[in-house]
Structures are given as structure tokens and as C-alpha cells.
């Protein structure tokens, strides 16, 4: 936000100059055709921006946005024709209607991942079109609806193209501002996180389902406004043009070509792509129908294969270089922020047994196979408890049951004396104060290390500056201060493990579940990690750790629980456990099998 | 059928014969859907890519059949022998040029590569062949077989027969040949298959080729009874998606049974509800299916893990 306060900087005044050029364009351009092209560029940029909120930020590839577009167009036109209501209000009505439709279809469909979600959105778009054609008493079916040409501000009908240009500029500014705001906000970080890895997003306390729903409703609202603009611009709508799959594809295509998931991508994409269709239509006429979409398709394939992050990414570096040469350039300064307040957790009950975590007779079966069978386990406040056992003993399953990734089939789990069994989905458990890492690390690969941890920090704050400062502090603490701006996918395995730990710490847990954070590390890295885990305990966080490296377990843990074939076979201090006959058998048996 | 009898007993206009008639035409139509869907589900099963351009391959096959008929007077059933191998090659080309480079990319990008292919092919067809509806007029295009008062369209019957043959052929291929086993192995686990000495890239190529050859067959069989136009693929591919999701992604049995079910549903909803709404009916089924049983009738739970069966 503070960036807006410095208009003397090139990163502010260069876009403003661009905007000024567009606003002044009608003075220089007399040809209505060129103005029309400019309007269409802004129009598609805005719609693509709206699509990008759910398709790009959240990575939920909707090809059904035409339904929201058409709902907006029909809603505002119908209330105008029937009741004479101004499209200014009709637009809000259409937007809300589209948001409701988006909620209704997405609420169930967001359970689907990847291509299955895309297919369901296509089906939704098709159904809406078929219904629009069928219910001709309401929509006049294939005949379409005509808006009378009575120019006035209230009717949202204008004589001059320039007025539509200003309207389009306003529409693009609105969508871009909302997209920009979302991107910087907590919601934006949550969307990126769930796009990268939905399980990991839940594990840092994100309500992934809700975040997606908010995003799709905002996206649908803005898309519906686009539909209203279209109907007021063309003054005629019919189902095949406003409910077409091609339109859905175009919204997405513009964003992908420009740079999916970025605020500038849709704008860049539209300036590249939209003129192709408009000029092809005008210059080549009807005999070359299809040419521009042919070009779109080919460009899309090439971009996906060669420039998956879009043309905008390719332009970014020269643009930054240009900015640096302009007067007034200053390097970006990280804002100082107050520390994130400590989360207020329910105190561990002093009376009774005083356990932080208590699993009572927990069982989990996978089709008859007992991954966990009547396991009792307790973690005391301030303790490091080791969980060991041969491969397939049920250690990770226990983590998944505690953090509600799997519901237990039997038994009870208490956290700080409070029953948490059956609290789903996982983010609700995380917010109660249990952090976790994954055995196979799940970093948000396409964002920086800092952003990874920022997502975790947003679990306890809504302030972006605060989350950022907190994330930086934690990365310093785990010894990753030098790696903050590196993309997570470029990190080594040891660094990824630390990043995963940092991200879990950022959620301010009271209890931390560490799943093999030492596996795959060399001896020096292991020693560093042991020291780190001890430091974390000193800050008052209790730790439950799964580990295979016996040396680590022995030196790190206060107590150890041994699982074998889903059952607890031993419990005690490291010394007691290492001399337990059943434990030795379990491990020797394992080795025997391997040999 | 029992339902038809009871309806006729009530003296309704809908008699048993009509119901059977609708049922039969639905099943026959379902045969074509099954052939298209087998190709789609096979490509998905092996490469884990949903080929949004599948319909455009069908469109290409239909145009191929049309031009062979127009220029050389070749009967569509004969041109099947040319169109099918040609489509196999088209499939190889598409796999090699578009799919192979994006195999490691994010699923989002994979979807978009095939969407791009679909858009490009559809509009190339629009550009070259224009939007006209074209069909072939054969002596048997409209001929029907009468069996005990039932009217059975000859081209539909032929298409159904070919569908059955293909289903049997695929069953034998998967069960008894090395190629079939290799396809199934790659479908189950790309890496393990590679370790077992299977040339995975070649299997990907072949699966795309075979899957596309399926629409070659479907295109030739459809031409005597249907029109072709640049966007014809969209209609059929959406139906095929419904079929494949209904039957279970990657399941051959699912594609066959799902095809028949959708054919019958389409015929009955056109007959009982309204022809204009028949698509809406099966899209609603599609969405419900995705929600409550996304792994389909014959797929396995956790649809990402399904293999070829």
C-alpha cells in the first residue's frame, strides 16, 4: 500500500502514463474501428483478470466462466427490459446472481481436483446454455434479446465509442485493483498455497475449500459485470454468443499467454491476443473465419510448451531494467512490522493427567488392514517424544489421524484436554495449535522460500507486513536467512526440510509433529537439525518426532514410543526401549526380511 | 421393458413397441459413443492426460471419410480401412509434437496444451472447409431393417456391430498380447514399467495412436448417418467425457457400458422429456456422477490411480 504514496517512482508512474495514454486515445484516434479494438482489448483483459483470480491464483481451471458472463448479461438485460431498472443496478444484481450460481456449482465440485474440476465446469456451462435456449418464455430462446438504442448514462447506452472506452477502462481498473489486492492479501497467499499443494495448504491452517469458494464468487461477480458490459456494448444477446465454450476458453487463454497467476499477465495477454482477432475479422472478413482462433490455438500450444509462465515473464526482466534507468528509481524496502501476537491457546489443564496430546485406543483400518490398532499415546507439555518403528508400522498414519487428514475409525484424541476427534478438515486442527511436516516434503514449489513461510504466518494474522516480518524471523532462526528469495523448487533436500519446519513453526504451534525431518541429510546437516529441534523445544513447543536414525532418536528424545504393525509394543526412556526384547525382535525381524 | 408393458396396459399412448424402439436406437447410438470413449479413456489411462482435442480428431476422421467419398466415390465402410490407419498416424504426430513435451508439466498446462490443439484444429477446419454441414449419401443411409415391427437403422446397426468387435478386440489385446500388458503396466506405474524394460515413450506414442485410431473408426461409421462440420467434435467429445466419467476414467469396460447407458439415456430423455433438453439431462448426470462417484462405475477409488482394466 505504501508504494502508492510515492508517485515519483517509475514503478508507479510508468503504469500511470500507460493508463493516461489509453484515456487520451480518443483525442488522437478518430477511426471508430481502432477505438473498438482498444475497447475489446480492455474488455478481454478485465475478463481474463477476473478469470485469473480462480483460474490463475487458485489454479482451479474453470472452463465454465461463460455461464457467469451470460448470467450477468441476461440478468441485467431482462430486468431492464421487464422493469426498466437501470443496468447500473442490474449489473450488481447480475453479479450477485452469478456469485450465487458459482457458489452452488463450486461448493460440491471443488472436491474434484485437476481435470475433473475442469470437466465439471464445462458441463455446468453447457447446462446453463441449454436451459437458456429452452426456457424461451423468460429468455426468448435462440431469438435473443435486443436492447433499444436510447443513449443515456442511466441506460448505460452511449453514442460514442469513447464513452465505452472509459467504461472499459473503469472495468479493467476495478478488476485489476481487486486482483492486485487479493494477491497481496491473506486470501491471495492461501490461494497460491492451495494451488501448489492442497494438503500442505491445509497443514498450515488454510481452509482451502472456503478460500476457493470466496475466489470463485469474486471471479464470477466480476465476470458477470463483463457480461453486462458486453450486452450494453453490442445491444444484442443470444445464448450461443454469451454462453459459448469458446468464450470461456478465451478468458483463460488470454491469461495463460500473458502469464497465468500474475496481475499483469491478463493485461499483457490481451494486448497481444485481442488485436489478432479484431484485425483478422476486419481485414480478412468472413472468408477467413476461424483464422484468429487458429492462431490463438497455436500460440497457446507454443506458450504452454516453451513459456509456461507466459510472455509477461519473458518481458519482466527487460522491464525491470528499464525501470532502474528511469529517474526516481529506488530499491524496494521491506516494511518494518510489529511481531505477530502469540496465538492464544487453551492452557493445558494442570489438574487431571495434564497431557498436551492424548490418543486413547486409536485405530485406523484400510480395507481390513489395521494401520493402527488401539494405540495409546501421550505427549506431555514441553516434551520431545520419539515415535519409532519399522517401515509400515503406522507412524505416519498416526500423524495423519491426529491432524485429521484421515479420520480415525475408533478411539479418541484429546488436545490440551479437549476432544478433537472428528474435527475436520485438517486446517481446523492446525489452528488449534498443532503443526506438522510431511515425510515427503511438500513445499509450495513455484514461490520463494519466504512466501512459503509467509503462508504459514498468515495462520495467525491478516496483516501482510506482519506475516512477512514473522516469516523472515523464522527463516533466520532455522538458518535459511540467505535463501529467502530463492524459489522453493531450487532448494536442496536439506533446505526443503528446514523450509517445511519453518512453515510449520510459522503457524505458531503448541505441538509440532515432525515426520522424518532428518531423513536424507548428511551427518553435518543432521547435527544442525538436532540442535534446531532442541532450540524449538526451548521456546516452549512440545514435539512429537518420527525418526529412523537411532542415534538421533536416542540423543534427542525424552521418551520413545515404538509401533509395530500398527500396535504399540513399547514405551519408555531411550535406555528402556533400546533394551526391550520386543523392540529388538521387531527390528531384527525387519532386517531379516530385507536380507 | 416391464415398464413399457405397464404403461400400455394403462392405455397410454406410449406402448411397449415404442419403448423397445427407443431402447434399441439408444443402445445402437451408445455403440458409437463407446468407440469414441474407448479411445479417450485409453489415452487417459496410459498418459494421465485428458485429451480435449479428441473430438477434433473425430471431426478430422469424418472429413476424411467425406472427402474419400466425394472425390473417389469410396464407400465409408471401405474408407474405414484408410481413415483408421491415417488417424493412427495423426495421433502419433500429435503425441510427438504436443503431448510429449508437456508430460512433465503441471496438469493445468497439460489441459491447456490439448485445449490449444482443439481450438487450432477446429478453426483450421473452419478456415479450410467453412462451416457448411456435409454428409455422404449412400444407398443405405436411410434404409432400415424391420424386425417384428421394430425399425432398425442399418448404419446404426453396422456401427454397433463394429463397436462390439472393437470392444472384443481390445479385450483380447489387453489380456493376451505383450503390447496390451505393457500398456496396462505403464498405466499402473510409469516408473516401475520403465524399470521393467518397457519403452515408456513408445507406449505413450502407441496409446495416443491407438486412441486416435478409435475415432478414425468412429468417424467412418458415423458418416453415413451424420453430418460433419468443424465443431462436430465438441458435441461428441463432451458426450465422451460424460461416458468416460460415468464408466470410470481409464476403464475399458466402463467406456463400453457407459456408452450404452448414455445412448439409452439420451434416447429416452429426448423421447420422454424434451429433445432440446437431452444434453442437459446427461450433463446433470455427469455432474452428479463426478460428485458422488468420481471414480465411475468401473474405475477404482482415487481416480488419479486408475489403470487400464
Instruction: Render A245-273 in DSSP notation, one character per residue.
Output: HHHHHHHHHHHHHH-TTSSSHHHHHHHHH
Same domain, A176 and A285: yes
**How does the average pLDDT of chain B come out, rounded?**
85
Same domain, A46 and A149: yes
pLDDT over 70 (residue B120):
yes
Does the residue A368 lie in any domain? yes
Q: Do residue B101 and residue A305 have CB atoms under 8 angstroms apart? A: yes
The shortest C-alpha distance from A564 to chain B (Å) reads 27
- The partner residue sitting opposite B123, judged by closest CB among A61, A124, A297, is A297
Same domain, A271 and A363: no
Q: Do residue B279 and residue A126 have CB atoms under 8 angstroms apart? A: yes
Same domain, A388 and A527: yes
Chain B interface mutation, best of A57, A280, A290, A367, highest count of B Cβ atoms under 10 Å? A290
Specify the pLDDT at position B208.
Answer: 93
Does the residue A38 lie in any domain? yes
Give residue-wise pLDDT tens across range B91-109.
999 999 998 888 878 778 8
Fold (topology level) of B2-133+140-305? ABC transporter involved in vitamin B12 uptake, BtuC (1.10.3470)
> What mean pLDDT comes out for the span B252-267?
90
Tell me the C-alpha distance between A112 and A225, whole Å.
Answer: 27
Specify the pLDDT at position A286.
Answer: 63
Does the residue A319 lie in any domain? yes
Tell me the C-alpha distance between B278 and B242, whole Å.
Answer: 13
Q: Which helix (H) or strand (E) holds A183?
A: helix A161-184
Buried b (16+ CB within 10 A) or exposed e, A546-583: bbebeebbbebbebbbbbbbbbbbbbeebeebbebeeb
Q: Do residue B127 and residue A297 have CB atoms under 8 angstroms apart? A: no
- ipTM surpasses cut 0.90: no
Domain extents for chain B?
A: 2-133+140-305
The shortest C-alpha distance from A303 to chain B (Å) reads 9
Q: Do residue B287 and residue A260 have CB atoms under 8 angstroms apart? A: no
Tell me the C-alpha distance between A117 and A108, whole Å.
Answer: 10
The shortest C-alpha distance from A241 to chain B (Å) reads 15
List the single residue in A with minimal CA-CA distance to B295: A116
Same domain, A286 and A361: no
Does the residue A333 lie in any domain? no
> What mean pLDDT comes out for the span B122-137?
88
Chain A interface mutation, best of B284, B290, B293, B296, highest count of A Cβ atoms under 10 Å? B290
pLDDT over 50 (residue B307):
no
Q: Do residue A120 and residue B105 have CB atoms under 8 angstroms apart? A: no
Residue B8, C-beta contacts closer than 8 angstroms, at least 6 positions apart: B14, B15, B16
Q: Closest Cα to residue A239, out of A422, A77, A442, A63?
A: A77
Q: Which of the 8 DSSP states describes residue A288?
A: G
Distance between start and end Cα atoms, chain B:
31
Does the residue A544 lie in any domain? yes
Q: What is the dihedral of CA A409, A415, A419, A420, to 10 degrees?
A: -50
Same domain, A304 and A377: no
Specify the pLDDT at position B5.
Answer: 40
B83 — pLDDT class (breaks 50, 70, 90)? very high
Taking contacts as CB-CB distances below 8 angstroms, the residues of chain A near B111 are 61, 114-115, 118
Specify the pLDDT at position A520.
Answer: 84
Give residue-wise pLDDT tens across range B167-216.
999 999 988 999 999 988 888 888 888 888 888 889 999 999 999 999 99
Q: Do residue B280 and residue A131 have CB atoms under 8 angstroms apart? A: yes
Same domain, A258 and A381: no
- The partner residue sitting opposite B105, judged by closest CB among A112, A294, A308, is A308
Pick from A305, A325, A345: which residue ends a domain?
A325
Same domain, A108 and A244: yes
Specify the pLDDT at position A15.
Answer: 85
The shortest C-alpha distance from A64 to chain B (Å) reads 13
User: Which stretches of B10-75 are DSSP H helices?
Assistant: 16-47, 54-72
Number of domains forming the structure of chain A: 2
Does the residue A471 lie in any domain? yes
Specify burial of residue A152 (Cβ count, 10 A radius: 0-12, 13-18, 19+).
exposed
- The partner residue sitting opposite B116, judged by closest CB among A109, A133, A300, is A300
Q: What is the dihedral of CA A78, A80, A85, A89, to 10 degrees?
A: 70
List the single residue in A with minimal CA-CA distance to B292: A108
- In this predicted structure, which of A522-531, B4-13, B290-299 has the lowest mean pLDDT? B4-13
Does the residue A332 lie in any domain? no
Tell me the C-alpha distance between B183 and B173, whole Å.
Answer: 10
Count of residues in chain A:
595
Residue A354, C-beta contacts closer than 8 angstroms, at least 6 positions apart: A348, A380, A381
Same domain, A436 and A321: no
Pick from A325, A346, A373: which residue ends a domain?
A325
Same domain, A129 and A197: yes
Identify the segments of chain A with pLDDT beneath 70.
1-6, 285-288, 332-335, 342-344, 346-352, 588-595
Same domain, A378 and A234: no
Domain that holds residue A20: 2-325
Q: Do residue B276 and residue A133 have CB atoms under 8 angstroms apart? A: yes
Specify the pLDDT at position A141.
Answer: 80
pLDDT over 90 (residue B155):
no
Pick from A301, A325, A349: which residue ends a domain?
A325
Q: Which helix (H) or strand (E) holds A359?
A: strand A357-366
Q: What's this model's pTM, rounded to 2 decimal places?
A: 0.88
| Residue with the three cell numbers 431498472 | A85
Amino acid at each position: 500500500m505504501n508504494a502508492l504514496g510515492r508517485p515519483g517512482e517509475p514503478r508507479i508512474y510508468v503504469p500511470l502514463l500507460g493508463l493516461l495514454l489509453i484515456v487520451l486515445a480518443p483525442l488522437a484516434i478518430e477511426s471508430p474501428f481502432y477505438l473498438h479494438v482498444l475497447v475489446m482489448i480492455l474488455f478481454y483483459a478485465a475478463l481474463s483478470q477476473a478469470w485469473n483470480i480462480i483460474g490463475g491464483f487458485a489454479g482451479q481451471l474453470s472452463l465454465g466462466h461463460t455461464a457467469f458472463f451470460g448470467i450477468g448479461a441476461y440478468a441485467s438485460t431482462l430486468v431492464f427490459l421487464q422493469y426498466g431498472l437501470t443496468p447500473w443496478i442490474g449489473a450488481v444484481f447480475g453479479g450477485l446472481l452469478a456469485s450465487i450460481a458459482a457458489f452452488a456449482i463450486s461448493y460440491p465440485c471443488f472436491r474434484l481436483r485437476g481435470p475433473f474440476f475442469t470437466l465439471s465446469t464445462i458441463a455446468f456451462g453447457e447446462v446453463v446454455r441449454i436451459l437458456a435456449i429452452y426456457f424461451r418464455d423468460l429468455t426468448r430462446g435462440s431469438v435473443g434479446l435486443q436492447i433499444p438504442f436510447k443513449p443515456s448514462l442511466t441506460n448505460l447506452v452511449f453514442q460514442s465509442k469513447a464513452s465505452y472506452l472509459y467504461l472499459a477502462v473503469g472495468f479493467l481498473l476495478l478488476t485489476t485493483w481487486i486482483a492486485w489486492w487479493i494477491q497481496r492479501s491473506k486470501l491471495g497467499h492461501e490461494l497460491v498455497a492451495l494451488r501448489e499443494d492442497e494438503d500442505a495448504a491445509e497443514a498450515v491452517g488454510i481452509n482451502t475449500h472456503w478460500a476457493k469458494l470466496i475466489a470463485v464468487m469474486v471471479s464470477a461477480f466480476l465476470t458477470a459485470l463483463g457480461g453486462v458490459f458486453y450486452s450494453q456494448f453490442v445491444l444484442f444477446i443470444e445464448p450461443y454468443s454469451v454462453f459459448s465454450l469458446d468464450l470461456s476458453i478465451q478468458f483463460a487463454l488470454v491469461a495463460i499467454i500473458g502469464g497465468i497467476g500474475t496481475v499483469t499477465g491478463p493485461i499483457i495477454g490481451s494486448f497481444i491476443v485481442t488485436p489478432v482477432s479484431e484485425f483478422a475479422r476486419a481485414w480478412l472478413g468472413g472468408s477467413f473465419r476461424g483464422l484468429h482462433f487458429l492462431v490463438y490455438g497455436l500460440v497457446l500450444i507454443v506458450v504452454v510448451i516453451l513459456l509456461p509462465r507466459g510472455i509477461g515473464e519473458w518481458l519482466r526482466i527487460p522491464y525491470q531494467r528499464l525501470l532502474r534507468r528511469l529517474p526516481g528509481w529506488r530499491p524496494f524496502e521491506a516494511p518494518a512490522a510489529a511481531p505477530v501476537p502469540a496465538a492464544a491457546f487453551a492452557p493445558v489443564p494442570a489438574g487431571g493427567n495434564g497431557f498436551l496430546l492424548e490418543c486413547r485406543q486409536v485405530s485406523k483400518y484400510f480395507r481390513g488392514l489395521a494401520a493402527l490398532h488401539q494405540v495409546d499415546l501421550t505427549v506431555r507439555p514441553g516434551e520431545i517424544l520419539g515415535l519409532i518403528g519399522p517401515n509400515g508400522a503406522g507412524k505416519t498414519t498416526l500423524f495423519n489421524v491426529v491432524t485429521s487428514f484421515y479420520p480415525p475409525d475408533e478411539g479418541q484424541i484429546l488436545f490440551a484436554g479437549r476432544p478433537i476427534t472428528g474435527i475436520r478438515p485438517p486446517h481446523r486442527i492446525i489452528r488449534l495449535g498443532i503443526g506438522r511436516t510431511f515425510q515427503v516434503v511438500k513445499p509450495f514449489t513455484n514461490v520463494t522460500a519466504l512466501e512459503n513461510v509467509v503462508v504459514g504466518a498468515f495462520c495467525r494474522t491478516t496483516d501482510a507486513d506482519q506475516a512477512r516480518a514473522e516469516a523472515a524471523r523464522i527463516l533466520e532462526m532455522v538458518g535459511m536467512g540467505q535463501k529467502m528469495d530463492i524459489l522453493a523448487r531450487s532448494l536442496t533436500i536439506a533446505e526443503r526440510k528446514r523450509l517445511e519446519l519453518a512453515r510449520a513453526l510459522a503457524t505458531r504451534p503448541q505441538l509440532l509433529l515432525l515426520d522424518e525431518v532428518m531423513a536424507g541429510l548428511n551427518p553435518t546437516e543432521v547435527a544442525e537439525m538436532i540442535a534446531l529441534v532442541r532450540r524449538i523445544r526451548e521456546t516452549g513447543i512440545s514435539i512429537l518426532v518420527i525418526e529412523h536414525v537411532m542415534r538421533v532418536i536416542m540423543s534427542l528424545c525424552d521418551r520413545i514410543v515404538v509401533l509395530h504393525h500398527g500396535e504399540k509394543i513399547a514405551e519408555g526412556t531411550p535406555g528402556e526401549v533400546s533394551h526391550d526384547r520386543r523392540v529388538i525382535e521387531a527390528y531384527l525381524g525387519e532386517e531379516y526380511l530385507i536380507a | 421393458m416391464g415398464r413399457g408393458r405397464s404403461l400400455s396396459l394403462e392405455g397410454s399412448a406410449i406402448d411397449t413397441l415404442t419403448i423397445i424402439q427407443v431402447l434399441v436406437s439408444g443402445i445402437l447410438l451408445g455403440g458409437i459413443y463407446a468407440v469414441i470413449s474407448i479411445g479417450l479413456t485409453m489415452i487417459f489411462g496410459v498418459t494421465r492426460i485428458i485429451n480435449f482435442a479428441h473430438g477434433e480428431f473425430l471431426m478430422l476422421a469424418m472429413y476424411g471419410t467425406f472427402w474419400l467419398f466425394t472425390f473417389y466415390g469410396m464407400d465409408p465402410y471401405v474408407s474405414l480401412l484408410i481413415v483408421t490407419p491415417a488417424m493412427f498416424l495423426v495421433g502419433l504426430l500429435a503425441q510427438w509434437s504436443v503431448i510429449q513435451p508437456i508430460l512433465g508439466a503441471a496438469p493445468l498446462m497439460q489441459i491447456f496444451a490439448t485445449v490449444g490443439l482443439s481450438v487450432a484444429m477446429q478453426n483450421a477446419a473452419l478456415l479450410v472447409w467453412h462451416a457448411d454441414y456435409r454428409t455422404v449419401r449412400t444407398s443405405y443411409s436411410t434404409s432400415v431393417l424391420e424386425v417384428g415391427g421394430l425399425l432398425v437403422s442399418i448404419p446404426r446397426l453396422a456401427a454397433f456391430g463394429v463397436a462390439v468387435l472393437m470392444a472384443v478386440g481390445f479385450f483380447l489385446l489387453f489380456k493376451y498380447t505383450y503390447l496390451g500388458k505393457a500398456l496396462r503396466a505403464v498405466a499402473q506405474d510409469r516408473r516401475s514399467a520403465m524399470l521393467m524394460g518397457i519403452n515408456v515413450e513408445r507406449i505413450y506414442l502407441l496409446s495416443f495412436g491407438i486412441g486416435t485410431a478409435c475415432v478414425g473408426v468412429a468417424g467412418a461409421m458415423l458418416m453415413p448417418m451424420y453430418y460433419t462440420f468443424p465443431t462436430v467434435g465438441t458435441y461428441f467429445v463432451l458426450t465422451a467425457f460424460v461416458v468416460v466419467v460415468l464408466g470410470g476414467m481409464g476403464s475399458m469396460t466402463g467406456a463400453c457400458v457407459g456408452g450404452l447407458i448414455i445412448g439409452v439415456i439420451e434416447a429416452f430423455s429426448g423421447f420422454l422429456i424434451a429433445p432440446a433438453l437431452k444434453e442437459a439431462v446427461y450433463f446433470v448426470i455427469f455432474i452428479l456422477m463426478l460428485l458422488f462417484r468420481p471414480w465411475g462405475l468401473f474405475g477404482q477409488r482415487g481416480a488419479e490411480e486408475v489403470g487400464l482394466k
